[in-house]
Amino acid sequence: MEPLAALLLVFGATTAIAQPFYVPSGSMEPTLQIGDAFVASKFPYGYSRYSLPYGAGPASQTRLMGRLPARGDVVVFRLPRNPQETLVKRVIGLPGDTVQMVGGHLMINGKVLPLIDAGTGLVEEADGRQVPVPRFTEILPNGVRHAIFKWRWDGMVDDTAPMKIPAGHLFMMGDNRDNSLDSRVPARFGGVGLVPVENLVGRAEIVVGSYDFLNARAVLGWLSSFRLSRLFYGVV
Which residues are designated catalytic?
27, 89
Is residue 34 a contact partner of residue 124, using CB atoms and an 8 Å limit?
A: yes
171/97 Cα distance (integer angstroms): 9
Complete DSSP assignment for 165-195: PPTTEEEEE-SBTTS--STTS-GGGTS---E
Rounded to a whole number of angstroms, the distance between the first and last alpha carbons of the chain is 41
Whole-angstrom CA distances from 147 to 24, 56, 63, 155 are: 19, 35, 30, 20
Is residue 194 a contact partner of residue 169, using CB atoms and an 8 Å limit?
A: yes
44/63 Cα distance (integer angstroms): 11
